């Protein structure tokens, strides 16, 4: 019986489906209990309700405060509109001292009479920047030292840059030294500043009637999310006084506090409500303790579950993924041990090994077929160029025969022999750059005979680039294109060809071909940059497309390519970036320059 039970357990746990089902049940039961007892859900709901309730309280008191601040703003603007003596304060006192002092007295009396109607205002003031004169009317409840302190604070304020607050039309908080902070409002009227100062104790008085529970409090916060008064609780618990509008945050180290805030519409400050989390959660049913115990038990069981899951699923899966990555990187010899802890993984491993073997054989066959196709396509692309130039060459000889210039016919014939000898030899995929440059010089010589005094060329190659392997006709094609489209009988054309090692990466080289013609048309440049074939039925531009296509076929590097642009003044620019590669064993090749001796 025991043996039967042992075999049954082994068979049961050899199935990956049963293992996953077991792990699923082991995880889902604690999670289901957590959902049943709604711990996190209930906590979030209660916190949202408390946050919403306190946000409404903040909105109510902040609305009352904003209306009071708005009434004071209206008073100040009404003073600007109706009090003509403000204009006299904007004039230097030296111009008319008597008129200035009379205006000053009337303004002071006006502010003093009106201050009694605003019980929360510590002081109304008018400051003449022209005369650096402060006119202040303070509350009757202020002591003389408090009056002097506030006047000194105003004098310091007027020496600083406060235009940002006047431009924004906002009340702002300011504190001098260890003195209590105050709320300021400044309105500019020419060079006269009108304003009011309100005590933060007065503005926060209405908030004191709200009950936030044990440990709860309201905190006045400036624009930098800093409290305007020191509070040991904030430093001790590391509470950040920021909460987005319409939501809350939980802050605190030892104790958790809910942070709810409301910004003023009239001032650059916020009021933050701090509510102790213990006060929020005091009415949650005792079942919350049971849920906490389940959560703790779940965290104890999870390592055991993870160990089992790792051995049964994760480790075999990791081996499979590692083998797949090696296959992806090109290591087709990798195989997986067919033995596994589960029947399903054993089948997967055997199938993977068989597929890897089949894909390796198929990839080798496809690769060989691609090589053959590339060689065929390269030969086809190279042969497309020969008929185009062949017709042009015959046309040149025809015109020279018409003028009976036999010496030029001989030079032209010799150059054509050298040219076509290279062309017939250029069925290779790559040739040394010095051979390509020699062929290009020979081609330029042919065209110089055709366009005397209208075509000049300069060709320079750095020594390290001479033996670099490049695609045949990579230079001559673009030189031919420049002559075909830029040579005219009105303006001479100069073509420069330079080959040099890349300054930033010595493993690459540049071939730079420039002319002094009119350059590429914008639509042609756009098509060339997108790799679109610009050739037509007459064979125009087919050479450019061939070179682009050949570079893509011959080089796997993404940085290899042909780039087209126009010069700042004029002229077309073709830049070809190729990797520096050399032939390991140079075979003896036929020297094209020996054509003269072979005639």
Q: Report whether pLDDT(10) > 60.
A: no
Mean pLDDT of 154-174: 75
Under the banding of pLDDT at 50, 70 and 90, the label for residue 466 is very high
Q: Which residue has the higher pLDDT, 427 or 339?
A: 339
Under the banding of pLDDT at 50, 70 and 90, the label for residue 154 is confident
Extents of the domains making up the chain: 83-204, 330-368, 373-598
Q: Say what the pLDDT of residue 596 is.
A: 33
Under the banding of pLDDT at 50, 70 and 90, the label for residue 433 is very high
Q: Say what the pLDDT of residue 465 is.
A: 92
Q: What is the pLDDT of residues 499-534, one digit of tens each?
A: 999 998 999 999 999 998 888 888 888 888 777 766
Q: What is the pLDDT of residues 286-300, one digit of tens each?
A: 656 666 676 677 667
Q: Which residue has the higher pLDDT, 322 or 287?
A: 322
Adjacent-strand bridge partners of 299: none
CA distance readout (Å), 491 to 451, 516, 566: 11, 9, 18
Q: What is the pLDDT of residues 91-125, one digit of tens each?
A: 898 888 888 899 989 988 998 888 888 888 888 88
Q: Report whether pLDDT(147) > 80.
A: no
Q: In angstroms, rounded to a whole number, what is the distance separating the alpha carbons of residues 309 and 501?
A: 57
Q: Report whether pLDDT(586) > 60.
A: no
Cα-based torsion angle of the residue sequence 41, 49, 274, 57 in order, rounded to the nearest 10 degrees: 170
Q: In angstroms, rounded to a whole number, what is the distance separating the alpha carbons of residues 430 and 474?
A: 10
The least confident of 4-18, 36-50, 214-228, 551-565 is 4-18
Q: Which residue has the higher pLDDT, 339 or 250?
A: 250
Burial 162-180 (b: 16+ CB within 10 A, else e): beebeeeebbbbbeeeeee
Sign of CA dihedral 137, 143, 145, 146: negative
Alpha-helix residue ranges (DSSP H) falling in 338-432:
343-402, 406-425
Under the banding of pLDDT at 50, 70 and 90, the label for residue 30 is low
Q: 83-204, what's its fold?
A: Profilin-like (3.40.1840)
Q: Say what the pLDDT of residue 237 is.
A: 84
Question: Do residues 3 and 285 lie in contact, with contact meaning Cβ atoms separated by under 8 Å?
Answer: no
Q: Say what the pLDDT of residue 515 is.
A: 92
Q: What is the DSSP string of 186-235?
A: EEEETTEEEEEEEEHHHHHGGGGGS---TT-EEEEEETTS-BSS--HHHH
CB atoms within 10 A of CB 580: 18
Under the banding of pLDDT at 50, 70 and 90, the label for residue 236 is confident
**What one-character DSSP code corresponds to residue 258?**
E
CATH of domain 373-598: 3.30.565.10
**Residue 136: both structure tokens together:** 């202040």
Sign of CA dihedral 130, 131, 137, 143: positive
Q: What is the average pLDDT score of the chain? A: 78
Q: Report whether pLDDT(564) > 80.
A: yes
Q: In angstroms, rounded to a whole number, what is the distance separating the alpha carbons of residues 349 and 480?
A: 59
Roughly what angle, to the nearest 10 degrees, separates helices 433-450 and 476-486? 20
The least confident of 136-150, 455-469, 534-548 is 534-548
Most confident of 239-253, 328-342, 529-543: 239-253
């Amino acid at each position: 019986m025991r043996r039967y039970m042992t075999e049954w357990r082994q068979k049961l746990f050899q199935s990956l489906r049963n293992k996953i089902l077991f792990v699923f049940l082991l995880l889902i039961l604690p999670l289901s209990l957590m959902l049943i007892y709604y711990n996190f859900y209930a906590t979030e709901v209660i916190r949202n309700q408390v946050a919403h309730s306190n946000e409404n309280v903040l909105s109510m008191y902040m609305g009352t405060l904003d209306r009071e601040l708005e009434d004071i703003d209206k008073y100040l603007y009404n003073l600007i509109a109706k009090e003509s003596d403000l204009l006299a304060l904007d004039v230097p006192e030296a111009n008319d001292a008597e008129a200035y002092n009379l205006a000053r007295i009337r303004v002071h009396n006006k502010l003093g009479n009106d201050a009694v109607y605003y019980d929360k205002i510590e002081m109304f003031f008018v400051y003449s920047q022209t005369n650096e004169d402060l006119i202040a009317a303070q509350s009757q409840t202020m002591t003389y030292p408090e009056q002097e302190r506030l006047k000194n604070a105003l004098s310091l304020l007027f020496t600083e840059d406060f235009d940002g607050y006047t431009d924004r039309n906002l009340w702002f908080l300011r504190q001098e030294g260890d003195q209590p902070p105050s709320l300021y409002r400044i309105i500019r009227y020419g060079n006269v500043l009108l304003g009011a100062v309100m005590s933060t104790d007065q503005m926060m008085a209405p908030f004191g009637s709200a009950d936030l529970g044990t440990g709860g409090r309201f905190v006045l916060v400036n624009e930098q999310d800093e409290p305007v008064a020191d509070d040991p609780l904030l430093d001790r618990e590391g509470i950040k006084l920021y909460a987005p509008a319409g939501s809350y945050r939980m802050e605190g180290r030892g104790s958790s506090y809910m942070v709810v805030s409301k910004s003023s519409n009239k001032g650059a400050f916020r009021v933050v409500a701090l509510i102790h989390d213990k006060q929020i959660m005091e009415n949650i049913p005792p079942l919350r303790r049971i849920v906490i115990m389940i959560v703790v038990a779940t965290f104890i069981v999870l390592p055991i579950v993870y160990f089992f899951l790792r051995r049964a699923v994760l480790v075999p899966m990791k081996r499979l993924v590692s083998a797949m990555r090696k296959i992806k990187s090109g290591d087709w010899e990798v195989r997986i041990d067919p033995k596994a802890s589960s029947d399903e993984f054993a089948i997967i491993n055997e199938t993977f090994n068989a597929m890897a073997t089949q894909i390796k054989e198929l990839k080798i066959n496809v690769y060989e077929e691609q090589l053959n196709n590339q060689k065929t396509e390269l030969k086809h692309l190279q042969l497309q160029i020969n008929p185009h130039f062949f017709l042009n060459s015959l046309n040149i000889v025809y015109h020279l025969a018409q003028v009976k210039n036999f010496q030029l016919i001989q030079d032209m014939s010799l150059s054509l022999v050298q040219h076509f000898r290279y062309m017939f030899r250029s069925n290779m995929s790559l040739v040394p750059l010095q051979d390509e440059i020699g062929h290009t010089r020979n081609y330029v010589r042919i065209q110089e005979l055709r366009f005397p005094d209208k075509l000049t060329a300069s060709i320079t190659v750095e020594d390290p680039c001479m033996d670099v392997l490049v695609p045949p006709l990579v230079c001559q094609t673009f030189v031919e294109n420049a002559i075909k489209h830029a040579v005219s009988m009105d303006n001479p054309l100069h073509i420069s060809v330079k080959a040099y090692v890349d300054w930033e990466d010595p493993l690459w080289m540049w071939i730079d071909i420039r002319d002094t013609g009119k350059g590429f048309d914008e639509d042609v440049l756009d098509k060339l940059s997108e790799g679109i074939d610009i050739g037509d039925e007459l064979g125009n531009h087919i050479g450019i497309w061939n070179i682009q296509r050949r570079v893509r076929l011959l080089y796997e590097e993404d940085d290899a390519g042909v780039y087209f642009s126009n010069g700042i003044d004029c002229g077309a620019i073709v830049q070809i970036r190729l990797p520096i590669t050399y032939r390991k064993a140079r075979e003896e090749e036929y020297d094209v320059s020996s054509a003269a001796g072979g005639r």
